[in-house]
């Protein structure tokens, strides 16, 4: 085992933390492998074997069991036009009468590739007794590992932000705009957002909040159709109308973003004070 000391130990820890934040959660081997080349070689070998050793009684033009061509392997997302997946997502979301039922529908839904790569499904677990809901962007690495929104450093910062305005985590219903973490923390695709939007809207209908704090651009974009960055959207109030219910939503900066850009905390503080005023239903400055 390699021994580290001094600055090398600190550097090794920083490198490890960076890989964890990027979504790396396991070590496969000491050296990298070209899996595409290995897969191509394996398919070629299988093809040669099938050509040399036909199985007696096998149907003409078909490979025997265990010798399937790559075209017969089930794709990550079954072939289906995006509109069809969106319609299925809408139907499944509408059929769910409770948050538990909505989770079941999401677990059965095959129209989003993110469900195949994420470890956990992040979803609100109860209605908003206080009427307050926080919706973030995508789950972070700690969220995905533990199955709960806002853990790790972003979660600790969120707790501090809420405490600063006299609130706490227990006062809020926490969730994320998309229920699965994209691999490597990449941006979600347009198709992934489209099929996740009906589930987000139904989640809000079931939670029934009176105020939403949107921490990040994704929930605002998915619920209002706006396309600006969060720096353009933050500080703005929106009316979200779902199932005949009007919910006020304030856009602000996510804790993960503030950890990367601490100079922006002054804007987040302004948003938090505005949210606290709305919570208290008072015009008095906080």
Nearest to 2 by CA among 26, 21, 30: 30
Is it the case that residue 39 has pLDDT exceeding 80? Answer: no
What the block records as the tokens of 281 is 């239903």
What the block records as the tokens of 276 is 């606290």
List the beta bridge partners of residue 211: 132, 248
Select, from the ranges 26-35, 80-89, 198-207, the one with the highest average predicted confidence (pLDDT). Answer: 198-207
Is it the case that residue 284 has pLDDT exceeding 60? Answer: no
DSSP code string of 235-255: T-EEEEEETTEEEEEEEE--H
Distance, CA of 128 to CA of 131 (rounded, Å): 5
Query: In Å, what is the CA distance from 232 to each residue of 213, 252, 256, 267?
Result: 16, 10, 17, 11
Q: Would you state the pLDDT for residue 70?
A: 32
What the block records as the tokens of 31 is 């050296």
pLDDT category, 25, cuts 50, 70, 90?
Answer: low
Helices (H), 125-264: 141-146, 152-164, 190-207, 217-224, 230-233, 255-260
Under a CB-based contact definition with an 8 Å cutoff, are residues 226 and 233 in contact?
yes
Nearest to 179 by CA among 189, 169, 192: 192
Angle at 286 between CA 160 and CA 234, to 5 degrees: 65
Query: In Å, what is the CA distance from 270 to each residue of 36, 142, 279?
Result: 50, 27, 14
Token look-up 């139904």 returns 202
Q: Would you state the pLDDT for residue 195?
A: 96
Is it the case that residue 125 has pLDDT exceeding 50? Answer: yes
Distance, CA of 144 to CA of 125 (rounded, Å): 16
Distance, CA of 114 to CA of 117 (rounded, Å): 5
Per residue in 139-166, pLDDT (tens digit) is: 999 999 999 999 999 999 999 999 999 9
- Three-state SS at 132: strand
Q: Would you state the pLDDT for residue 74?
A: 39
pLDDT category, 177, cuts 50, 70, 90?
Answer: very high
Distance, CA of 199 to CA of 223 (rounded, Å): 11
Residues whose CB falls within 8 Å of the CB of residue 181, separated by 6 or more in sequence, listed in order:
23, 114, 118, 119, 120, 122, 138, 139, 140, 141, 143, 144
What the block records as the tokens of 26 is 């396991």
Write out the CATH class of domain 82-280: alpha beta
Residues whose CB falls within 8 Å of the CB of residue 155, separated by 6 or more in sequence, listed in order:
142, 149, 255
């Amino acid at each position: 085992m390699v021994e580290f000391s001094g600055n090398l130990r600190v550097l090794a820890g920083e490198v490890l933390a960076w890989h964890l934040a990027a979504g790396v959660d396991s070590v496969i081997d000491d050296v990298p492998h070209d899996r595409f080349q290995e897969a191509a070689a394996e398919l070629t070998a299988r093809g040669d074997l099938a050509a040399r050793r036909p199985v007696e009684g096998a149907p003409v033009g078909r490979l025997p069991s265990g010798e399937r061509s790559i075209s017969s392997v089930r794709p990550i997302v079954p072939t289906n036009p995006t509109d069809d997946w969106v319609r299925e997502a809408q139907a499944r979301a509408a059929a769910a009468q409770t948050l538990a039922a909505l989770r079941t529908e999401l677990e059965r839904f095959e129209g989003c590739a993110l469900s195949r790569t994420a470890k956990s499904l992040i979803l609100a677990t109860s209605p908003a007794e206080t009427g307050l809901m926080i919706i973030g962007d995508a789950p972070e690495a700690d969220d995905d590992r533990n199955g709960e929104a806002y853990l790790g450093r972003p979660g600790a910062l969120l707790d501090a932000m809420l405490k600063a305005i006299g609130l706490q985590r227990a006062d809020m219903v926490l969730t994320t705009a998309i229920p699965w973490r994209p691999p490597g923390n990449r941006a979600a695709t347009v198709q992934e957002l489209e099929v996740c939007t009906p589930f987000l809207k139904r989640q809000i209908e079931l939670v029934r909040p009176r105020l939403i704090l949107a921490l990040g651009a994704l929930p605002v974009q998915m619920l209002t159709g706006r396309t600006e960055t969060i720096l353009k959207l933050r500080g703005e109030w929106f009316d979200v109308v779902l199932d005949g219910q009007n919910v006020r939503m304030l856009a602000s900066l996510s804790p993960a973003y503030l950890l990367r850009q601490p100079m922006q905390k002054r804007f987040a503080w302004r948003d938090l004070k505005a949210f606290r005023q709305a919570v208290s239903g008072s015009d008095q400055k906080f």
